Amino acid sequence: MITRKRLVAGVFGLLVALTGGSFPAVATADSEPAGKPAPKVELVLDVSGSMRATDIDGKSRMAAAKQAFNEVLDAVPPEVRLGIRTLGADYPGKDRRTGCKDTRQLYPVGPLDRTEAKAAVATLAPTGWTPIGPALLGAAEDLEGGDATRRIVLITDGEDTCAPLDPCEVAREIAAKGIHLTIDTLGLVPDAKTRAQLVCIAEATGGTYTSVRHTDELSERVSQLVDRAAEPTLTPVATRGADRCEKAPALTPGLYTDRETFGEHRWYRVDVLPGQELRASVSVAADRAVNRDYGVLLRASTVHGREIVRGEAAGDGRTDVLSTGLRYPSPDIDDADTDGSGKPAAETVCLRVSNSFSAPAGVKTTPGLPVELSIAVVDGPDEAGDAAFLGLGRGWLFLGLLIVAGFVTGVLWGRLSRWRVSVWRTN
């Protein structure tokens, strides 16, 4: 028979699962999580010569950006550490080499002094080149340190003119450092090439791209992105899966990131005690142009290679991630092997993440695709002993059957007792 301890075990198991070791306590949206590093945001503003163009609500792009910045600076949540970096603000000359190094930090990342920041923005005048790649590298450096979530908001009106450093590659390399950095891009009245480049940058880091034609759109969107950075988020831990189970890293419950190139297999190990249930889910992100059809396979196997259970997903078309998951309740064995201390020995489950993404020719395959792996170990489920709830019945037919059975039993019992009484009387 099944052991039923759901009421108590379920409630406490849930509490443990929600607040215990596997996840950080979930902070409510309005309270700043104590001890959590402050989120960092850097606004990267293009101050190149093309920002003089007057095509946003009858004003110049620069004027629109300044107005939007003022509104954004007024509304920055207090816990956010905000910095501002410019590109193309200082060098008006024709020399490409010098022009392509023209990026500087206008306001350092830290607690915000609104007056100072606004004064700094007011001094800007459209000047030079558009070195997006170097500006992103600079911004990533500005945001270094700590374990906070990081976000770069890039506002530009033109494509990077500083080849061969492709800003899209730069963005992917920054993201591959595993520092939880997201780049959101905004294009001011963008042309097709600018748009493609900005979309590529955003895609490479899991950010968003917005095309801006009005001042209010710009300020609303930037405010939204800054607020988004202030949201408390789980930060995954970087790990590195091995190519075989024996060498794989042992994972405890939590959230992990890794990188996996096209067609690569990555192994991880999780220890599960008898009677516990392993829950794993994996998301493989398509952070670059990939071919139309793709798939992801998450396979749990024993150390000897026997497959226990798998999760698989396939898809096609435009996507950000492809994800799948699995659960494996380890059987609860009474005569479990003990490891000497009286405790049952944990079973090692090998998890393999593989993907069938493929890239069109010309797309770089390194660094690999971002992998997010979520592991949880909870108490095992109550196995079903019957298809229906506790074997209880339901429905009119069931009721009718009970009534008929009861009636027939009553009649038979009545007959039987009459017969017994008459037998007794005759004797």
Partner 1 sequence: MRTVRNLTTAALLAGTALLGLPGVAGADSPSPDPSATGGGAAAPTEAGTSFRTATAVRPGRHATAQASTGDYLYWQFPADAAERPTVRATVKLPQATALQAASTWRIDVYDGLRRRQACRFGSQTHTVPAGTSSVELTCHLRTVRAWAEPWSGDPLPGAYYVRLTAVRLAATDVGQPLDAALDIDVEDTGGASAVDGGLSAPLVQGSSATVEPEDGWASGWWSTRWLWTAGGAALAALAGIGGHRLTRGNGRPAVPGRV
According to CB under 8 A, which residues from 4 to 33 bind partner 1? Answer: 6-7, 9-11, 13-14, 16-18, 22-23, 26
Token output for 177: 């450092």
CA separation, residue 365 to residues 200, 257, 286, 291, 360 (Å): 15, 18, 11, 13, 10
Compute the least distance from the CB of residue 127 to partner 1, in Å: 26
Site for partner 1 in 320-339 (CB under 8 A): 320-321, 323-329
Cβ proximity to partner 1, 124 vs 202, nearer residue: 202
Cβ proximity to partner 1, 98 vs 302, nearer residue: 302
Instruction: Choose the binding region for partner 1 from 42-50, 104-112, 126-134, 193-201 (rule: CB under 8 A).
Output: 193-201
Cβ proximity to partner 1, 14 vs 122, nearer residue: 14
Query: Per CB under 8 A, does 78 bind partner 1?
Result: no
Residue with tokens 């090998």: 350
Among 54, 224, 302, 366, binds partner 1 (CB under 8 A): 224
Among 318, 335, 340, 362, binds partner 1 (CB under 8 A): 318
Compute the least distance from the CB of residue 326 to partner 1, in Å: 7
Rounded Cα gap, residues 299 and 129, in angstroms: 50
Cβ proximity to partner 1, 17 vs 242, nearer residue: 17
Can you tell me whether residue 333 is helix, strand or coil? coil
Can you tell me whether residue 376 is helix, strand or coil? strand
Query: Per CB under 8 A, does 360 bind partner 1?
Result: no
Compute the least distance from the CB of residue 236 to partner 1, in Å: 7
Cβ proximity to partner 1, 40 vs 134, nearer residue: 40
Site for partner 1 in 390-419 (CB under 8 A): 390-395, 398-399, 402-415, 417-418
Query: Per CB under 8 A, does 343 bind partner 1?
Result: no
Q: Comparing C-alpha atoms, which of 137, 132, 224 is closest to residue 173?
A: 137
Rounded Cα gap, residues 202 and 185, in angstroms: 6
Angle at 311 between CA 307 and CA 313, to 5 degrees: 135
Encode burial over 346-359: b for 16+ CB neighbours within 10 A, e otherwise.
bbebbbbbbbebeb
Query: Per CB under 8 A, does 193 bind partner 1?
Result: no
Cβ proximity to partner 1, 119 vs 402, nearer residue: 402
**234-273 footprint of partner 1 as x/- string (CB under 8 A):** x-x------------------x------------------
DSSP for 220-266 reads HHHHHHHHHHHS----PEE---BSSSTTPPEEPSEEEEEEE-TT-EE
Rounded Cα gap, residues 174 and 193, in angstroms: 22
Can you tell me whether residue 3 is helix, strand or coil? coil
Q: Length of the chain, please?
A: 427
Cβ proximity to partner 1, 8 vs 361, nearer residue: 8
Compute the least distance from the CB of residue 29 to partner 1, in Å: 8
Site for partner 1 in 159-188 (CB under 8 A): 187
Give the orientation angle of helix 167-176 with respect to helix 192-204, to 10 degrees.
10
Site for partner 1 in 106-125 (CB under 8 A): none
Cβ proximity to partner 1, 263 vs 413, nearer residue: 413
Q: Comparing C-alpha atoms, which of 75, 216, 205 is closest to residue 153?
A: 205
Query: Per CB under 8 A, does 289 bind partner 1?
Result: no
Q: Comparing C-alpha atoms, which of 202, 184, 129, 188 is closest to residue 157?
A: 188
Query: Per CB under 8 A, does 274 bind partner 1?
Result: no
Can you tell me whether residue 320 is helix, strand or coil? coil
Compute the least distance from the CB of residue 167 to partner 1, in Å: 17
Compute the least distance from the CB of residue 125 to partner 1, in Å: 27
Cβ proximity to partner 1, 34 vs 115, nearer residue: 34
Cβ atoms 7, 217 nearer than 8 A: no
User: Residue 114: how many CB atoms within 10 A of its CB?
Assistant: 12
